[in-house]
Amino acid sequence: MVTFDEIAEKYFLSRYLRHASITVYRSSIKAFELHFGKCLLGDVDHEQILAWRKARLDAGLARRSWNTYSSHLKTLYGYAMEQELVTASRNIFSGTLVVPPKKKKKTIESHLIHQARDWLIELTEQEQRTHQRATITPAWFWLVVFETFFHTGIRLNALLQIRVKDVHLLQRYILIRGEEEKTHREFSVPIMPGHLPHMKQLVKSAKSIGMRPDEQLFNVNRFSGHYRRTTMNQDQVEAMYKKLIERLGARITPHRFRHTLASDLMRQPDRNIHVTMQLLNHSNMATTLSYIETDQEDIRMALAEREQQYQGRFKRGREVAGKSLPRGIACDKKPLTRKKLQG
Protein backbone atom coordinates (compact mmCIF):
# COMPACT_ATOMS: atom_id res chain seq x y z
CA MET A 1 0.00 0.00 0.00
CA VAL A 2 1.11 3.57 -0.71
CA THR A 3 0.08 7.13 0.12
CA PHE A 4 -1.02 9.69 -2.44
CA ASP A 5 2.31 11.49 -2.10
CA GLU A 6 4.19 8.29 -2.94
CA ILE A 7 2.04 7.38 -5.92
CA ALA A 8 2.19 10.97 -7.18
CA GLU A 9 5.98 10.86 -7.40
CA LYS A 10 5.82 7.63 -9.40
CA TYR A 11 3.12 9.08 -11.65
CA PHE A 12 5.03 12.34 -12.31
CA LEU A 13 8.11 10.31 -13.21
CA SER A 14 6.15 8.23 -15.71
CA ARG A 15 4.50 11.23 -17.39
CA TYR A 16 5.76 14.45 -18.92
CA LEU A 17 3.63 17.06 -17.16
CA ARG A 18 3.71 20.82 -17.12
CA HIS A 19 4.69 22.49 -13.87
CA ALA A 20 1.19 23.96 -13.61
CA SER A 21 -0.35 20.48 -13.89
CA ILE A 22 1.88 19.09 -11.14
CA THR A 23 0.88 22.01 -8.93
CA VAL A 24 -2.82 21.13 -9.34
CA TYR A 25 -2.14 17.48 -8.48
CA ARG A 26 -0.27 18.50 -5.32
CA SER A 27 -3.07 20.88 -4.31
CA SER A 28 -5.59 18.06 -4.68
CA ILE A 29 -3.47 15.75 -2.53
CA LYS A 30 -3.15 18.47 0.10
CA ALA A 31 -6.92 18.88 0.24
CA PHE A 32 -7.30 15.12 0.64
CA GLU A 33 -4.74 14.96 3.45
CA LEU A 34 -6.33 17.87 5.31
CA HIS A 35 -9.41 15.71 5.67
CA PHE A 36 -8.01 12.15 5.93
CA GLY A 37 -4.44 12.75 7.03
CA LYS A 38 -1.42 11.00 5.45
CA CYS A 39 -3.16 7.64 5.26
CA LEU A 40 -2.65 4.70 2.94
CA LEU A 41 -4.87 4.58 -0.16
CA GLY A 42 -6.43 1.33 1.02
CA ASP A 43 -7.63 2.97 4.25
CA VAL A 44 -10.30 5.05 2.48
CA ASP A 45 -13.36 3.73 0.62
CA HIS A 46 -15.90 5.19 -1.80
CA GLU A 47 -18.47 6.03 0.89
CA GLN A 48 -15.88 8.06 2.81
CA ILE A 49 -15.07 10.03 -0.36
CA LEU A 50 -18.77 10.81 -0.78
CA ALA A 51 -18.96 11.96 2.83
CA TRP A 52 -15.89 14.16 2.27
CA ARG A 53 -17.54 15.62 -0.81
CA LYS A 54 -20.70 16.46 1.11
CA ALA A 55 -18.74 18.08 3.93
CA ARG A 56 -16.70 20.26 1.56
CA LEU A 57 -19.64 21.33 -0.61
CA ASP A 58 -21.78 22.08 2.47
CA ALA A 59 -18.89 24.21 3.76
CA GLY A 60 -19.03 26.33 0.62
CA LEU A 61 -16.45 24.76 -1.69
CA ALA A 62 -17.24 25.52 -5.33
CA ARG A 63 -18.41 22.55 -7.36
CA ARG A 64 -15.73 23.18 -9.97
CA SER A 65 -13.06 23.08 -7.26
CA TRP A 66 -14.39 19.77 -5.97
CA ASN A 67 -14.36 18.35 -9.51
CA THR A 68 -10.73 19.40 -9.85
CA TYR A 69 -9.84 17.48 -6.68
CA SER A 70 -11.91 14.47 -7.69
CA SER A 71 -10.64 14.13 -11.27
CA HIS A 72 -6.96 14.48 -10.37
CA LEU A 73 -7.14 12.11 -7.41
CA LYS A 74 -9.09 9.64 -9.54
CA THR A 75 -6.24 9.69 -12.07
CA LEU A 76 -3.64 9.00 -9.37
CA TYR A 77 -5.75 6.26 -7.80
CA GLY A 78 -6.29 4.69 -11.21
CA TYR A 79 -2.53 4.70 -11.80
CA ALA A 80 -2.04 2.97 -8.44
CA MET A 81 -4.53 0.30 -9.54
CA GLU A 82 -2.68 -0.19 -12.85
CA GLN A 83 0.59 -0.65 -10.97
CA GLU A 84 -1.14 -3.05 -8.55
CA LEU A 85 -0.23 -0.85 -5.60
CA VAL A 86 -3.81 -1.06 -4.29
CA THR A 87 -6.08 -4.10 -4.33
CA ALA A 88 -9.40 -2.28 -4.89
CA SER A 89 -11.63 -3.56 -7.69
CA ARG A 90 -13.13 -0.11 -8.28
CA ASN A 91 -11.69 3.38 -8.27
CA ILE A 92 -13.03 5.03 -5.11
CA PHE A 93 -13.35 8.37 -6.95
CA SER A 94 -15.58 6.99 -9.71
CA GLY A 95 -18.96 8.70 -9.76
CA THR A 96 -17.93 11.50 -7.41
CA LEU A 97 -18.07 14.41 -9.86
CA VAL A 98 -20.91 16.90 -9.51
CA VAL A 99 -22.63 19.01 -12.16
CA PRO A 100 -21.21 22.55 -11.85
CA PRO A 101 -23.33 25.63 -12.46
CA LYS A 102 -22.98 27.03 -15.96
CA LYS A 103 -20.28 29.64 -15.86
CA LYS A 104 -20.88 32.61 -18.12
CA LYS A 105 -17.88 33.30 -20.31
CA LYS A 106 -16.52 36.80 -20.00
CA THR A 107 -16.12 38.76 -23.22
CA ILE A 108 -14.96 42.32 -23.87
CA GLU A 109 -17.40 44.78 -25.38
CA SER A 110 -16.19 46.34 -28.63
CA HIS A 111 -16.26 49.91 -27.34
CA LEU A 112 -13.90 48.93 -24.51
CA ILE A 113 -11.47 47.41 -27.00
CA HIS A 114 -11.52 50.63 -29.04
CA GLN A 115 -11.01 52.77 -25.92
CA ALA A 116 -8.09 50.67 -24.70
CA ARG A 117 -6.43 50.68 -28.13
CA ASP A 118 -6.89 54.46 -28.52
CA TRP A 119 -5.35 55.09 -25.11
CA LEU A 120 -2.31 52.92 -25.85
CA ILE A 121 -1.83 54.71 -29.19
CA GLU A 122 -2.10 58.04 -27.39
CA LEU A 123 0.53 56.96 -24.84
CA THR A 124 2.80 55.75 -27.64
CA GLU A 125 2.60 59.11 -29.41
CA GLN A 126 3.14 60.88 -26.08
CA GLU A 127 6.36 58.96 -25.39
CA GLN A 128 7.64 59.60 -28.91
CA ARG A 129 6.88 63.29 -28.61
CA THR A 130 8.13 64.00 -25.07
CA HIS A 131 10.74 61.21 -24.69
CA GLN A 132 9.39 60.65 -21.19
CA ARG A 133 7.88 57.51 -19.69
CA ALA A 134 4.11 57.21 -20.00
CA THR A 135 1.76 55.59 -17.50
CA ILE A 136 2.24 52.31 -19.38
CA THR A 137 5.80 52.06 -20.68
CA PRO A 138 7.13 51.48 -23.23
CA ALA A 139 3.70 52.13 -24.69
CA TRP A 140 4.55 50.85 -28.18
CA PHE A 141 5.54 47.45 -26.75
CA TRP A 142 2.37 47.05 -24.71
CA LEU A 143 0.33 48.06 -27.75
CA VAL A 144 1.94 45.12 -29.60
CA VAL A 145 1.02 42.82 -26.68
CA PHE A 146 -2.55 44.15 -26.71
CA GLU A 147 -2.93 43.62 -30.47
CA THR A 148 -1.43 40.13 -30.25
CA PHE A 149 -4.01 38.99 -27.71
CA PHE A 150 -6.80 40.68 -29.69
CA HIS A 151 -5.89 39.15 -33.07
CA THR A 152 -4.79 35.66 -31.98
CA GLY A 153 -6.62 34.79 -28.75
CA ILE A 154 -3.54 32.90 -27.50
CA ARG A 155 -3.07 32.16 -23.83
CA LEU A 156 -0.88 34.43 -21.70
CA ASN A 157 1.62 31.65 -21.09
CA ALA A 158 1.84 30.98 -24.83
CA LEU A 159 2.76 34.61 -25.49
CA LEU A 160 5.54 34.45 -22.89
CA GLN A 161 7.01 31.37 -24.62
CA ILE A 162 7.28 32.92 -28.11
CA ARG A 163 10.88 33.21 -29.28
CA VAL A 164 12.26 35.54 -31.94
CA LYS A 165 12.56 32.65 -34.41
CA ASP A 166 8.94 31.58 -33.83
CA VAL A 167 7.66 34.62 -35.75
CA HIS A 168 7.60 34.11 -39.52
CA LEU A 169 6.81 37.45 -41.10
CA LEU A 170 7.14 36.34 -44.73
CA GLN A 171 4.77 33.41 -44.25
CA ARG A 172 2.75 35.51 -41.79
CA TYR A 173 2.31 33.11 -38.91
CA ILE A 174 3.51 32.64 -35.32
CA LEU A 175 4.55 29.21 -34.10
CA ILE A 176 3.17 28.31 -30.68
CA ARG A 177 5.23 25.49 -29.16
CA GLY A 178 3.55 22.70 -27.25
CA GLU A 179 5.79 22.54 -24.18
CA GLU A 180 3.69 24.90 -22.08
CA GLU A 181 0.32 24.44 -23.80
CA LYS A 182 -2.50 22.66 -21.98
CA THR A 183 -2.84 20.26 -24.87
CA HIS A 184 0.95 19.82 -25.27
CA ARG A 185 0.40 20.32 -29.01
CA GLU A 186 2.34 22.63 -31.28
CA PHE A 187 0.27 24.85 -33.55
CA SER A 188 0.44 28.16 -35.38
CA VAL A 189 -1.68 31.29 -35.57
CA PRO A 190 -1.84 33.55 -38.64
CA ILE A 191 -0.61 37.13 -38.52
CA MET A 192 -3.51 39.19 -39.84
CA PRO A 193 -3.10 42.52 -41.72
CA GLY A 194 -4.07 44.59 -38.69
CA HIS A 195 -1.54 42.72 -36.56
CA LEU A 196 1.32 42.62 -39.07
CA PRO A 197 2.71 46.19 -38.59
CA HIS A 198 2.94 45.64 -34.84
CA MET A 199 4.80 42.34 -35.21
CA LYS A 200 7.16 43.87 -37.76
CA GLN A 201 7.97 46.66 -35.31
CA LEU A 202 8.58 44.19 -32.47
CA VAL A 203 10.85 41.91 -34.52
CA LYS A 204 12.76 44.87 -35.96
CA SER A 205 13.30 46.30 -32.46
CA ALA A 206 14.39 42.90 -31.16
CA LYS A 207 17.00 42.51 -33.90
CA SER A 208 18.25 46.10 -33.41
CA ILE A 209 19.19 45.34 -29.80
CA GLY A 210 20.84 42.04 -30.74
CA MET A 211 18.28 39.55 -29.48
CA ARG A 212 19.16 36.00 -30.49
CA PRO A 213 16.69 33.78 -32.41
CA ASP A 214 16.06 31.55 -29.39
CA GLU A 215 15.42 34.40 -26.92
CA GLN A 216 12.04 35.40 -25.51
CA LEU A 217 10.54 37.89 -27.97
CA PHE A 218 7.84 39.42 -25.77
CA ASN A 219 10.28 40.61 -23.11
CA VAL A 220 9.59 44.16 -21.96
CA ASN A 221 12.77 44.09 -19.85
CA ARG A 222 14.90 44.16 -22.99
CA PHE A 223 13.12 47.17 -24.47
CA SER A 224 13.15 49.46 -21.45
CA GLY A 225 15.69 50.29 -18.75
CA HIS A 226 12.78 50.80 -16.35
CA TYR A 227 12.65 47.04 -15.67
CA ARG A 228 15.28 44.87 -14.02
CA ARG A 229 14.19 41.29 -14.76
CA THR A 230 15.89 39.11 -17.35
CA THR A 231 12.68 37.55 -18.71
CA MET A 232 9.12 38.83 -18.80
CA ASN A 233 6.68 37.02 -16.55
CA GLN A 234 2.94 36.84 -15.99
CA ASP A 235 2.97 39.46 -13.23
CA GLN A 236 4.33 42.13 -15.57
CA VAL A 237 1.59 41.51 -18.12
CA GLU A 238 -1.11 41.52 -15.45
CA ALA A 239 0.28 44.78 -14.03
CA MET A 240 -0.19 46.44 -17.41
CA TYR A 241 -3.76 45.16 -17.72
CA LYS A 242 -4.49 46.37 -14.21
CA LYS A 243 -3.74 49.89 -15.41
CA LEU A 244 -6.07 49.38 -18.37
CA ILE A 245 -8.80 48.22 -15.99
CA GLU A 246 -8.33 51.28 -13.79
CA ARG A 247 -8.50 53.52 -16.85
CA LEU A 248 -11.60 51.92 -18.39
CA GLY A 249 -13.46 50.99 -15.22
CA ALA A 250 -14.13 47.51 -16.61
CA ARG A 251 -12.44 44.10 -16.71
CA ILE A 252 -10.18 43.60 -19.71
CA THR A 253 -7.68 40.73 -19.55
CA PRO A 254 -5.75 38.49 -21.96
CA HIS A 255 -8.07 35.53 -21.37
CA ARG A 256 -11.15 37.63 -22.04
CA PHE A 257 -9.75 38.32 -25.49
CA ARG A 258 -9.81 34.54 -25.95
CA HIS A 259 -13.49 34.34 -25.03
CA THR A 260 -14.27 37.34 -27.22
CA LEU A 261 -12.51 35.90 -30.26
CA ALA A 262 -14.33 32.58 -29.92
CA SER A 263 -17.71 34.28 -29.58
CA ASP A 264 -17.02 36.58 -32.55
CA LEU A 265 -16.02 33.67 -34.79
CA MET A 266 -19.06 31.62 -33.84
CA ARG A 267 -21.38 34.54 -34.62
CA GLN A 268 -20.21 34.61 -38.23
CA PRO A 269 -22.63 33.18 -40.82
CA ASP A 270 -20.75 29.91 -41.41
CA ARG A 271 -20.02 29.43 -37.68
CA ASN A 272 -17.02 27.24 -38.44
CA ILE A 273 -16.43 25.51 -35.13
CA HIS A 274 -13.47 23.53 -36.49
CA VAL A 275 -11.60 26.75 -37.37
CA THR A 276 -12.30 28.13 -33.90
CA MET A 277 -11.24 24.88 -32.28
CA GLN A 278 -7.94 24.81 -34.17
CA LEU A 279 -7.17 28.48 -33.56
CA LEU A 280 -7.73 28.14 -29.81
CA ASN A 281 -5.84 24.81 -29.79
CA HIS A 282 -8.59 22.91 -27.98
CA SER A 283 -8.34 19.13 -27.69
CA ASN A 284 -12.10 18.56 -27.86
CA MET A 285 -15.10 20.29 -29.37
CA ALA A 286 -16.96 20.54 -26.05
CA THR A 287 -14.34 22.97 -24.76
CA THR A 288 -14.80 25.18 -27.82
CA LEU A 289 -18.57 25.11 -27.48
CA SER A 290 -18.29 26.17 -23.84
CA TYR A 291 -16.85 29.50 -24.98
CA ILE A 292 -19.89 30.36 -27.04
CA GLU A 293 -22.46 32.68 -25.53
CA THR A 294 -25.81 32.90 -27.33
CA ASP A 295 -27.92 35.91 -26.44
CA GLN A 296 -31.55 36.68 -27.25
CA GLU A 297 -30.61 38.59 -30.39
CA ASP A 298 -28.69 35.59 -31.74
CA ILE A 299 -31.73 33.38 -31.13
CA ARG A 300 -34.04 35.94 -32.71
CA MET A 301 -31.88 36.14 -35.86
CA ALA A 302 -31.68 32.34 -36.16
CA LEU A 303 -35.46 32.02 -35.91
CA ALA A 304 -35.92 34.85 -38.43
CA GLU A 305 -33.66 33.02 -40.92
CA ARG A 306 -35.68 29.83 -40.41
CA GLU A 307 -38.96 31.70 -40.88
CA GLN A 308 -37.74 33.30 -44.12
CA GLN A 309 -36.65 29.92 -45.47
CA TYR A 310 -40.04 28.38 -44.80
CA GLN A 311 -41.87 31.37 -46.27
CA GLY A 312 -39.74 31.11 -49.40
CA ARG A 313 -40.43 27.37 -49.74
CA PHE A 314 -44.18 27.87 -49.16
CA LYS A 315 -44.35 30.60 -51.81
CA ARG A 316 -42.46 28.51 -54.36
CA GLY A 317 -44.62 25.50 -53.56
CA ARG A 318 -47.84 27.44 -54.18
CA GLU A 319 -46.47 28.79 -57.46
CA VAL A 320 -45.55 25.29 -58.64
CA ALA A 321 -48.95 23.94 -57.55
CA GLY A 322 -50.74 26.72 -59.44
CA LYS A 323 -48.80 26.02 -62.64
CA SER A 324 -49.45 22.29 -62.45
CA LEU A 325 -53.26 22.61 -62.37
CA PRO A 326 -55.21 21.89 -65.64
CA ARG A 327 -56.22 24.95 -67.67
CA GLY A 328 -59.47 26.49 -66.48
CA ILE A 329 -59.09 25.35 -62.88
CA ALA A 330 -58.14 28.18 -60.49
CA CYS A 331 -55.87 27.62 -57.54
CA ASP A 332 -57.52 28.39 -54.20
CA LYS A 333 -55.42 31.13 -52.59
CA LYS A 334 -56.90 30.59 -49.14
CA PRO A 335 -55.17 28.07 -46.87
CA LEU A 336 -57.28 25.23 -45.54
CA THR A 337 -58.55 25.73 -42.00
CA ARG A 338 -58.47 23.03 -39.37
CA LYS A 339 -62.30 22.75 -39.64
CA LYS A 340 -62.10 22.09 -43.39
CA LEU A 341 -59.35 19.55 -42.93
CA GLN A 342 -61.41 17.67 -40.31
CA GLY A 343 -64.57 17.84 -42.46
Domain of 213, CATH number, reads: 1.10.443.10
Element (H, E) at 227: none
Average pLDDT on 309-316 reads 68
In a domain, 329, yes or no: no
Output the pLDDT for position 300.
73
Output the pLDDT for position 329.
46
What range does the domain containing 70 cover?
Answer: 4-82
DSSP 147-195: HHHHHH---HHHHHH-BGGGEETTTTEEEE-STTSTT---EEEE--TTT
Output the pLDDT for position 277.
73
Q: Bridge-partner residues for 187, per DSSP? A: 176
In a domain, 70, yes or no: yes
In a domain, 120, yes or no: yes
Distance CA 156, CA 258 (A): 10
Q: What are the tens digits of pLDDT across the range 111-153?
A: 999 999 999 999 999 999 999 999 999 999 999 999 999 999 8
* pTM given for the model: 0.64
Query: Is 155 annotated in the active site?
Result: yes
Cβ-count burial of 72 within 10 angstroms (0-12 exposed, 13-18 middle, 19+ buried)? Answer: buried
Catalytic residue among 182, 184, 243, 267: 182
Same domain, 75 and 147: no
Provide the pLDDT confidence category of residue 100 given band limits of 50, 70 and 90. confident
Query: Is 241 annotated in the active site?
Result: no
Q: Which residue has the higher pLDDT, 229 or 178?
A: 229
62 sits in the region (left: phi over 0; alpha: psi -120 to 50; else beta) called: beta
Same domain, 71 and 186: no
Average pLDDT on 266-293 reads 66
In a domain, 156, yes or no: yes
Catalytic residue among 56, 151, 259, 282: 282
Element (H, E) at 37: none
Output the pLDDT for position 258.
86
In a domain, 226, yes or no: yes
Q: Which residue has the higher pLDDT, 232 or 338?
A: 232
Final residue of a structural domain among 82, 101, 129: 82
In a domain, 52, yes or no: yes
Q: What are the tens digits of pLDDT across the range 162-210?
A: 999 999 999 999 999 877 666 667 888 999 999 999 999 999 999 999 9
For 100-114, 217-231, 298-312, which range has the lowest pLDDT when averaged over its residues? 298-312
Output the pLDDT for position 340.
45
Same domain, 12 and 51: yes
In a domain, 126, yes or no: yes
Same domain, 238 and 167: yes
Highest mean pLDDT among 197-206, 307-316, 325-334: 197-206
Catalytic residue among 56, 155, 195, 256: 155
Q: What are the tens digits of pLDDT across the range 64-96?
A: 899 999 999 999 999 999 999 998 889 999 999
Output the pLDDT for position 131.
92
Query: Is 18 annotated in the active site?
Result: no
In the chain, which ranges are continuous DSSP H helix? Answer: 4-14, 19-36, 46-58, 63-82, 110-130, 139-152, 156-161, 196-208, 220-223, 234-248, 254-266, 273-279, 285-290, 296-324, 338-342
Q: Which residue has the higher pLDDT, 107 or 272?
A: 107
Average pLDDT on 41-49 reads 94
Q: Is the pLDDT of residue 327 over 60?
A: no
Average pLDDT on 290-296 reads 60
Same domain, 61 and 166: no
Q: What are the tens digits of pLDDT across the range 217-228?
A: 999 999 998 888
Average pLDDT on 36-51 reads 94
Output the pLDDT for position 331.
47
Same domain, 284 and 136: yes
Q: Is the pLDDT of residue 333 over 60?
A: no
Q: How far is CA 28 from the centre of its chain?
A: 23
Average pLDDT on 268-276 reads 65
Same domain, 246 and 137: yes
Output the pLDDT for position 49.
97
Q: Which residue has the higher pLDDT, 21 or 66?
A: 66
Average pLDDT on 53-63 reads 95
Catalytic residue among 165, 226, 242, 255: 255
Same domain, 65 and 125: no
Query: Is 173 annotated in the active site?
Result: no
Same domain, 146 and 194: yes
Same domain, 127 and 53: no
Phi, psi of 293 (to 5 degrees): -110, 120
Query: Is 131 annotated in the active site?
Result: no
DSSP 13-30: HHS---HHHHHHHHHHHH
Final residue of a structural domain among 272, 290, 308: 290
In a domain, 153, yes or no: yes
Question: How many structural domains compose the chain?
Answer: 2
Domain of 31, CATH number, reads: 1.10.150
Query: Is 258 annotated in the active site?
Result: yes
Catalytic residue among 53, 74, 198, 258: 258
